[in-house]
């Protein structure tokens, strides 16, 4: 149990070191969506300009 | 002893660990003594009863303003995944879900002490998907695969919408392929930036679960020996055998685990108890949430 708890701690530490809280991998590197279109959805919920992800248009295979 | 390139030797003939952050972490634990293991367990507040109802432990049991404050410091969310499964008469059917929840809770307690607690989502799969050889077992409740997949996709989307965009599925049950499928489909369908991971926790630290026939200290293979071998468990009350649900001689998850373990083990494991590494005592009659099989 020590091993997995310390392993998970390391995983979350490394994620946060690469992408601190609120930061994400760049849209154009990981998504087919237009970065400008997606920008409002990436904001903190309820912050100015934020949009809910449930309003995003469908992309890809239907 | 010759140290293969890129690998770290231990005080034993085997195993070797990779020379990276994970390997160095495992080597440190592998070579730790009992007081050090106890000290680490204490840092994580382990053992501890499950915290499903504890205020402030899970996103769903934390007041909203605190959820938002926590997320601004740490937006990683651990999502424990288990099932409802008959593990034998000496066990409860939520064992998998309870184990993995308590692991994640330990990580939350530890990171909270450092000032930025990781977030926990309540287990979305109190039932679970199951492999075909579980079909028909009383006490095991089986969700169809499409339900598991779509439920997890919806959970991922909802958490993402709330700003939890670094999501780690921590799995304690034999439905890994459904979790991987859910993650893949989520990424294809929504095309949302984030960090998405799924792991079988026992595979992430598999070196610590060797069986006695491979030189380790475990009586049964970790990977659900209970399906075919639960009667071997020393904690089973006498006369509580449960019939097999797969043909004798058929390949089992347990057999596979033993084969893997054998292939990686060439020397007896000496030293301290593997159970203590997990915070689980070996004695019969211990509380169910600290007992033998998983």
With CB atoms and an 8 Å threshold, state whether A7 touches B161.
no
DSSP B176: H
Is the pLDDT at B241 greater than 80? The verdict is no
B200 DSSP β-pair partners: B171
pLDDT at B163 over 90: yes
More confident residue, A37 or B222: A37
Identify whether A9 is part of a domain: no
Cβ separation A16–B157 shorter than 8 A:
no
Quick one: DSSP state of residue B12? Answer: S
Segment B200-215 mean pLDDT: 84
Cα(B291)–Cα(B219) distance, integer angstroms: 13
- Rounded to whole angstroms, the Cα distance separating B186 from B40 reads 36
Tell whether B18 is covered by a domain. no
Please judge whether A1 and B197 are an interchain contact, meaning their C-beta atoms are less than 8 angstroms apart: no
pLDDT band with cut points at 50, 70 and 90 for residue B36: very high
Q: Residue A45, by phi and psi: left (phi above 0), alpha (psi -120 to 50) or beta?
A: beta
Q: Which helix (H) or strand (E) holds B196?
A: strand B195-200
Helix/strand/coil percentages in chain A, nearest 5:
50, 0, 50
CA distance B287 to B291: 6
Task: Give pLDDT tens digits for A18-60.
Answer: 999 999 999 999 999 999 999 999 999 999 999 999 999 999 8
Contact at CB, B201 and A59, closer than 8 angstroms: no
Model pTM score:
0.81
Share of chain B above pLDDT 70, in %: 74
Q: Does residue B3 belong to any structural domain of this protein?
A: no
- The answer to the question of residue A8 being in a domain is no
pLDDT of residue B223: 65
Is the sign of the CA dihedral B33, B38, B44, B49 positive or negative? Answer: positive
pLDDT at B218: 75
Examine the pLDDT at B237 and tell me if it is beyond 70. no
CATH number at residue B217: 3.40.50
B17 in a structural domain:
no
Phi-psi region of B194 (alpha: psi -120 to 50; beta: other; left: phi over 0): left
Paired strand residues for B168: B78, B197
Q: Do B191 and A60 touch (CB under 8 A)?
A: yes
More confident residue, B215 or B66: B66
Task: Tell me, yes or no, whether B231 lies in a domain.
Answer: yes
Quick check: is B292 in a domain?
no
Given a cut of 90, whether residue B161 has pLDDT beyond it is yes
Number of H helices and number of E strands within chain A? Answer: 3, 0
Return the pLDDT at B175.
Answer: 96
**Region B172-190 average pLDDT:** 97
On whether residue B294 sits in a domain, the answer given is: no
B107-142: buried (b, 16+ CB within 10 Å) or exposed (e) per residue?
A: bbbbbbeeebbbbbbebbbebbbbbebbeebeebbb
As a whole number of angstroms, the distance between CA B30 and CA B17 comes to: 10
Please check whether residue A27 lies inside any domain of the structure: yes
Q: Nearest 5 degrees, angle CA B120-CA B77-CA B109?
A: 45
Q: Residue B84 to residues A42, A56, B221: CA-CA distances in angstroms? A: 36, 35, 20
The total of structural domains in chain B comes to 1
A5–B22: do the CB atoms touch at under 8 Å?
no
Say whether residue B160 is in contact with chain A using an 8 A CB cutoff. Answer: yes
Residue A53 sits at the chain B interface (C-beta within 8 Å): yes
| Alpha helix segments (H runs only) across chain B | 21-30, 34-43, 64-73, 95-113, 145-161, 176-190, 201-204, 226-229, 253-264, 274-277
Residue B123: give the domain boundaries: 46-283
- CA B105 to chain A, closest CA, distance in angstroms equals 9
CA distance B193 to A62: 20
Q: Is A38 among the domain residues?
A: yes
Structurally, how many domains does chain A consist of?
1
Conformation bin of residue A52: beta by default, left when phi > 0, alpha when psi is -120 to 50 = beta
Tokens representing B4 are 């293969």
Q: Helix crossing, A2-18 with B34-43: angle to 10°?
A: 50
- The Cα B112–Cα B96 span in angstroms is 24
CA dist A12 and B205 (Å) reads: 16
How many other CB atoms are found less than 10 A from the CB of residue B201?
23
Q: Give chain B positions within 8 Å (CB) of A6.
A: 25, 29, 40
Residue for token pair 């994970």: B22
Interface of B with A in 210-229 (CB under 8 A): none
Q: Among A19-28, B258-267, B272-281, which range has the highest average pLDDT?
A: A19-28
B201: contact with A, CB 8 A cutoff: yes
Place of tokens 């070996």: B282
Phi and psi torsions of A37, nearest 5°: -65, -35
């Amino acid at each position: 149990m020590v091993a997995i708890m310390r392993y998970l701690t390391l995983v979350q530490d490394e994620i946060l070191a690469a992408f601190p809280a609120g930061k994400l991998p760049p849209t154009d590197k990981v998504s087919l969506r237009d970065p400008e279109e997606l920008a409002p959805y990436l904001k903190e919920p309820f912050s100015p300009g934020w949009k809910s992800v449930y309003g995003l248009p469908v992309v890809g295979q239907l | 002893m010759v140290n293969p390139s890129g690998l770290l030797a231990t005080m034993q003939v085997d195993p070797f660990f990779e020379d990276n952050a994970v390997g160095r972490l495992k080597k440190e634990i592998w070579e730790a003594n009992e007081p050090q293991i106890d000290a680490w367990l204490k840092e994580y507040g382990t053992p501890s009863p499950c915290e499903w109802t504890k205020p402030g432990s899970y996103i769903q049991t934390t007041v909203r303003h605190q959820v938002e404050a926590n997320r601004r410091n740490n937006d990683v969310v651990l999502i424990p995944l288990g099932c409802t499964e008959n593990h034998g008469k000496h066990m409860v059917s939520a064992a998998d879900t309870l184990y993995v929840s308590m692991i994640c809770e330990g990580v939350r307690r530890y990171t909270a002490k450092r000032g930025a607690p990781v977030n926990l989502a309540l287990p979305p799969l109190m039932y679970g998907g199951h492999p075909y050889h579980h079909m028909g077992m009383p006490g095991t409740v089986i969700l169809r695969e499409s339900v598991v997949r779509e439920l997890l996709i919806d959970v991922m989307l909802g958490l993402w919408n709330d700003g939890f965009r670094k999501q780690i599925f921590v799995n304690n049950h034999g439905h890994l392929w459904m979790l991987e499928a859910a993650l893949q489909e989520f990424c294809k369908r929504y095309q949302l930036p984030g960090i998405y991971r799924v792991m079988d926790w026992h595979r992430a630290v598999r070196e610590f679960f060797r069986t006695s026939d491979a030189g380790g200290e475990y009586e049964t293979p970790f990977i659900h020996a209970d399906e075919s071998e639960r009667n071997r468990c020393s904690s089973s009350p006498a006369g509580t055998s449960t019939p097999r649900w797969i043909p004798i001689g058929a390949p089992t998850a347990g057999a596979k685990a033993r084969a893997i373990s054998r292939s990686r083990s060439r020397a007896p494991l000496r030293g301290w108890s593997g159970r203590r590494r997990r915070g689980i005592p070996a004695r019969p009659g211990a509380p169910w949430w600290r007992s033998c099989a998983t």
